[in-house]
Structure 1
């Protein structure tokens, strides 16, 4: 089985999420221009990959809606 780029990544959950399930984000040294996003309740499931530009658009959109 081949490891995917986020196998050894250090995922982080927002401090605002508390103890509730949330999403976690990580940047890997394998592909630093890609941000990974996963479900904290199912950490071994699918990791969504965003380019830096997509991640910036996503987080900017979140900041304007909160």
Structure 2
């Protein structure tokens, strides 16, 4: 009764995960409790740091969120 036709295509593009900070002060100030911060250079995440980090430090809202990461 009907013929359904479709077309599929793939397009790649880059998405900025973090916008460059303003020139002054040159960074985005972020505050968090010391126990809710994980740094890219930490031994805890060194094996996956290249996959997970788009900023130098991750600041978490809660310990369960930090543990899940």
Give the alignment's TM-score, normalised by structure 1: 0.26
Structure with the higher fraction of residues in strand conformation: 1
Q: Which of structures 1 and 2 has the bigger CA Rg?
A: 2
Higher helix share: 1
With a CA cutoff of 8 Å and minimum separation of 6, indicate the structure with the bigger relative contact order.
2
